[in-house]
């Protein structure tokens, strides 16, 4: 039996989404910029997707620009604003996805000033710290809607209000949030928002950047006049249509999916926390419904992941492989976890097709693997008073 608990990494493409994409490959394959009937048919399909994508976040159709995914949207939002400003200060957090962190590092190397705000032990940045970090030359605040490792939701509405009061542009990386929790760009004063279809049962390699009407953003891609001359390149019409359909489907079924995922996530969490020396990361903060990030002290989560993979269970760790060694998750480290505890942490992200039977099997397999690994672990043996079971 294969059990997929890595939906935060990517989801499968929903069959209903595939069905609406198929004609764009086979029949309506014209270039959406062409003036003939084939082109007009493709453009009509793109327009519908633009309406669906805009509706999913409470935006207007003319505020949606299609991109190749979350990474491009993040890069474009931040560099597009920074390059137009020419210089200035950017506020972000230390737990952003690399698409934001590395873009900010790049801008720093080009002379911009960047503040990477810390988070508390639950993984949240405080809105107060955002306000305190504002300088006279602050040009942009970029703070994620929900963290990809822990699922922790940031105080987006409060931050949006602060940004608006100080007349500073506010970008949010909502790649993990859109389609999973309600997102409304007007209620939360968001000026720019990144989303990606493959995180909500749409295809990979397509996303969107929302840019509030009246906000001017620099060009990211140079070339043709597509996307009102700011994002050149022939439109990925099947992908865009898939994004629109997936966004609508996700919003239409959000309440029931969230209820189902939360029920399964609670079941998984309760059972895993019954094991010795475990903790839930992000406990006490509002979180996405399907994310469960647990630390199993004294073990290497990579070993646990490998054990589970052999059993057909797909999970993930926040560790990054750099020059042959594993760097523990910077997100968990920023929340105050020790290197050992960060290394012993596993992310399980539940999706709408998971069921109770799968979760119960996963619990049983994880428990067995954790008990074996903890018994073998010298660290764990030390904590248990030097008793080591083999």
Binding residues vs ligand PLP (CB under 6 A): 69-71, 74, 97, 99, 144, 148, 173, 175-176, 196, 207
Looking at the Cβ atoms of 13 and 196, the one nearer to ligand PLP is 196
Tell me which residue of 335, 290, 281, 294 sits closest to 121, measured CA to CA: 335
Q: Specify the long-range contacts of residues 26-31, CB closer than 8 Å, at least 24 apart.
A: 28/237, 29/237, 31/234, 31/235
Looking at the Cβ atoms of 281 and 297, the one nearer to ligand PLP is 281
- Rounded CA gap, 305 and 286, in Å? 26
- Rounded CA gap, 125 and 62, in Å? 31
- Rounded CA gap, 259 and 271, in Å? 19
Cβ–Cβ < 8 Å for 199, 6: no
Looking at the Cβ atoms of 103 and 374, the one nearer to ligand PLP is 103
Contact partners, residue 19, CB within 8 Å, separation at least 6: none
Looking at the Cβ atoms of 152 and 369, the one nearer to ligand PLP is 152
Looking at the Cβ atoms of 101 and 366, the one nearer to ligand PLP is 101
Compute the least distance from the CB of residue 364 to ligand PLP, in Å: 29
Compute the least distance from the CB of residue 194 to ligand PLP, in Å: 7
104 is annotated as an active-site residue: no
Looking at the Cβ atoms of 97 and 171, the one nearer to ligand PLP is 97
Compute the least distance from the CB of residue 146 to ligand PLP, in Å: 7
Q: Which of 1, 225, 321, 390 is catalytic?
A: 321
Cβ–Cβ < 8 Å for 217, 230: yes
Residue nearest to ligand PLP (CB): 70
Compute the least distance from the CB of residue 230 to ligand PLP, in Å: 19
Compute the least distance from the CB of residue 357 to ligand PLP, in Å: 28
Compute the least distance from the CB of residue 227 to ligand PLP, in Å: 17
Q: DSSP string spanning 286-346?
A: -B-TTEEEEEETTS-HHHHHHHHHHTTEE-B-S-EEETTEEEPPHHHHHTT--HHHHHTEE
| 79 to 76, 117, 142, 339: CA distances (angstroms) | 5, 19, 11, 32
- Rounded CA gap, 66 and 73, in Å? 9
| 137 to 33, 76, 113, 243: CA distances (angstroms) | 40, 20, 9, 36
Active site residues: 321
């Amino acid at each position: 039996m294969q059990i997929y608990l890595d939906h935060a990494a990517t989801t499968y493409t929903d069959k209903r989404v595939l069905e609406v994409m198929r004609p764009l490959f086979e029949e309506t394959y014209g270039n959406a910029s062409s003036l003939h009937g084939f082109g007009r048919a493709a453009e009509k399909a793109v327009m519908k997707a633009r309406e669906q994508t805009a509706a999913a976040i409470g935006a207007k159709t003319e505020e949606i620009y299609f991109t190749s995914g979350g990474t491009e949207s993040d890069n474009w939002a931040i560099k597009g604003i920074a390059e137009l400003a020419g210089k200035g200060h950017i506020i972000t957090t230390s737990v952003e996805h690399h698409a934001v962190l590395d873009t900010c590092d790049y801008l720093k190397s080009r002379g911009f000033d960047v503040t990477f705000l810390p988070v508390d032990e639950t993984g949240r940045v405080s809105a107060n710290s955002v306000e305190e970090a504002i300088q006279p030359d602050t040009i942009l605040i970029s703070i994620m809607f929900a963290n990809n490792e822990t699922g922790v939701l940031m105080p987006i509405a409060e931050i949006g209000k602060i940004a608006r009061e100080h007349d500073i542009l506010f970008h949010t990386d909502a790649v993990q949030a859109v389609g999973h929790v309600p997102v409304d760009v007007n209620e939360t004063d968001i000026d720019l928002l990144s989303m990606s279809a493959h995180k909500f049962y749409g295809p990979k390699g397509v996303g969107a950047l929302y840019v509030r009407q009246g906000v001017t953003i620099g060009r990211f891609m140079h070339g043709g006049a597509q996307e009102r001359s700011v994002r050149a390149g022939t439109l990925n019409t099947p992908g865009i249509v898939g994004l629109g359909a997936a966004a609508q489907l996700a919003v239409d079924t959000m309440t029931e999916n969230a209820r189902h995922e939360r029920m399964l996530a609670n079941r998984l969490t309760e059972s895993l926390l019954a094991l010795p020396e475990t903790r839930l990361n992000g406990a006490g903060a509002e979180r996405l419904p399907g994310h469960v990030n647990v630390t199993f002290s004294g073990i290497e989560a990579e070993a646990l992941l490998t054990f589970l993979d052999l059993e057909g269970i797909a999970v993930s760790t926040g560790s990054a492989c750099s020059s042959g060694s594993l760097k523990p998750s910077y997100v968990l480290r920023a929340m105050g976890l020790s290197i050992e505890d960060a290394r012993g942490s596993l992310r399980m992200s539940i999706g709408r097709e998971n069921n109770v039977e799968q979760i119960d099997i996963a619990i049983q397999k994880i428990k067995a693997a954790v008990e074996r690994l903890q018994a073998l672990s010298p660290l764990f043996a030390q904590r248990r008073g030097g008793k080591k079971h083999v």
